[in-house]
């Protein structure tokens, strides 16, 4: 046993004795790595972490290049400029915006601030797992409500499951992993009917891919809502780290004490340039839509079941356990996403470029016919 191992074991034992395990700050990157540990070969196709193979837009690349030279400073002014730019783009007051190095950070903070023993985390199943891991850390009860038959959040079941003890209702729209939408009216109902003192956390990491109505008006109207956006998805900046939380100033105040949430200058410069660039969202939405439509037609033609998606990923049904399919695909250098415990016979496949999807199709046909 090496010194690090013994140290971490001791720390673990102490934390466990205190009833607190180390907080796993989970990002899509970490979750994707848990299901595919290690390093992918350099020529592998990566369809496992809902990343954007296009990377940052041209304006963001240029702005980040310039920002590198100013990297010797913390650039506090850029933080304010990012908040102002985002506030203007979304038509909310600047004090309702807080920037972070990705949206995983505020997602965890909201759970830490509003959940705990007797204050439950309520989520959809299958849903994005990061929030419920944070809830487990603060020993909050966790309620998972299966999606409806249309793959929307079952708001009624979420309200019923929580009773009066809710801390956070988490709604990812469109959902990760299914890429399906929850009608805005259902989210509005959740906000209206949730118990006092709880909040609704609307995660719009993927909203740009479908152009569905945002819940930003609920923030504008001062409701008990946190809304998250990230630059990791449509803007292609996952490795550069930038994200935003929108909420009433008093709610943002509740999540501020958990750390500085400070962004790298490249993240700030790239985020501002992305928000200011014209047509990026629309172009990329169309690019992804074509690839998605093509894949869905191909799956239908090959009689493979899937959940129709409006996002940059598709849940594909597999005849054998998804885990085995993922392993067989990885052996063919196509790394696909994970399966969820409640849906063990589905795999999540992120949409890549046209060329990458051709490689996916070739490997997938081999795997399902073997
Ligand atoms: N929320 C959802 C639903 C996600 O899928 C992700 C990443 O995949 C995030 C939030 C946070 O991403 P990041 O921390 O890269 O902004």
CA atoms of 73 and 183, how far apart (whole Å): 44
- Residue 234 contacts residue 285 (beta carbons within 8 Å): yes
pLDDT at 24: 67
For ligand 1, atom 13, the nearest C-alpha belongs to: 102
pLDDT at 22: 62
Q: Is the pLDDT at 84 greater than 70, yes or no?
A: yes
Same fold, 25-50+280-369 and 58-276: no
Residue 309's pLDDT band (cuts 50, 70, 90): very high
Domain 25-50+280-369 is in which class? alpha beta
List, for residues 45-70, the tens digit of each pLDDT value. Answer: 999 999 999 999 999 999 999 999 99
How distant, in Å, are the alpha carbons of 65, 189, 272 from that of 62?
Answer: 5, 43, 12
- pTM score, two decimals? 0.93
Return the best residue to mutate from 103, 182, 236 for the ligand 1 pocket (most ligand atoms within 8 A of CB): 103
Q: Is the pLDDT at 99 greater than 70, yes or no?
A: yes
pLDDT at 25: 72
Return the best residue to mutate from 24, 25, 26, 27 for the ligand 1 pocket (most ligand atoms within 8 A of CB): 27
Q: Is the pLDDT at 249 greater than 90, yes or no?
A: yes
Q: Is 230 in the pocket of ligand 1 (CB under 6 A)?
A: yes
Annotated domain spans of the chain: 25-50+280-369, 58-276
| Across 111-132, average pLDDT | 97
| Mean pLDDT over each residue of the chain, to the nearest integer | 93
User: Where would I find the beta strands (DSSP E) of the chain?
Assistant: 45-47, 97-100, 120-125, 142-146, 166-172, 199-203, 225-230, 243-246, 313-317, 334-336, 346-350
- Residue 227 contacts residue 216 (beta carbons within 8 Å): yes
Residue 291's pLDDT band (cuts 50, 70, 90): very high
List, for residues 2-34, the tens digit of each pLDDT value. Answer: 333 333 444 444 444 445 556 667 788 888 877
CATH number for 58-276 (one of 3.30.460.10, 3.40.640.10, 3.40.50.1820, 3.30.70.100): it is 3.40.640.10
List, for residues 187-202, the tens digit of each pLDDT value. Answer: 999 999 999 999 999 9
**What letter would DSSP give residue 80?**
H
Q: Is 205 in the pocket of ligand 1 (CB under 6 A)?
A: yes
Edge-to-edge strand ranges of the sheet holding 142-146: 97-100, 243-246, 225-230, 199-203, 166-172, 120-125, 142-146
């Amino acid at each position: 046993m090496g010194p690090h191992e013994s140290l971490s074991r001791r720390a673990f034992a102490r934390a466990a004795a205190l009833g607190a395990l180390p907080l796993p700050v989970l990002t899509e990157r970490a979750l994707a790595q848990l299901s595919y540990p290690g390093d992918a070969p350099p020529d592998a196709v990566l369809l496992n972490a809902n990343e954007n193979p296009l990377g940052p837009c041209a304006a963001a690349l240029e702005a980040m290049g310039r920002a590198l030279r100013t990297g010797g400073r913390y650039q506090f002014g850029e933080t304010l400029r990012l908040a102002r730019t985002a506030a203007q783009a979304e038509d909310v007051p600047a004090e309702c915006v807080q920037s972070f190095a990705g949206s995983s950070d505020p997602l965890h903070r909201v759970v830490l601030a509003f959940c705990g023993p007797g204050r439950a985390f309520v989520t959809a199943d299958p849903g994005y797992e990061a929030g419920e891991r944070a809830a487990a850390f603060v020993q909050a009860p966790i309620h998972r409500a299966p999606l409806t038959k249309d793959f929307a959040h079952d708001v009624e079941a979420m309200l019923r499951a929580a009773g009066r003890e809710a801390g956070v209702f988490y709604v990812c729209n469109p959902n990760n992993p299914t890429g399906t939408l929850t009608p805005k009216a259902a989210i509005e109902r959740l906000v209206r009917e949730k118990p006092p003192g709880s909040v609704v956390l609307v995660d719009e990491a993927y909203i740009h891919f479908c152009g569905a109505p945002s819940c930003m008006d609920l923030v504008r109207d001062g409701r008990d809502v946190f809304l998250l956006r990230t630059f990791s998805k449509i803007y292609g900046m996952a490795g550069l780290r930038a994200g935003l939380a929108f909420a009433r100033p008093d709610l943002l105040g509740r999540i501020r004490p958990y750390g500085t949430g400070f962004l790298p200058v490249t993240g700030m410069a790239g985020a501002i340039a992305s928000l200011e660039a014209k047509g990026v969202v629309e172009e990329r939405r169309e690019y992804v839509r074509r690839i998605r439509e093509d894949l869905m037609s191909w799956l239908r033609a090959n009689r493979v079941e899937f959940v129709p998606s409006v996002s940059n990923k598709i849940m594909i049904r597999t005849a054998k356990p998804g885990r085995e399919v993922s392993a067989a695909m990885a052996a063919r250098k196509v790394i696909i996403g994970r399966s969820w415990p409640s849906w063990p016979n589905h795999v999540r496949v992120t949409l890549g470029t046209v060329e990458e999807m051709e490689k996916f199709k070739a490997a997938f046909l081999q795997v399902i016919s073997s």
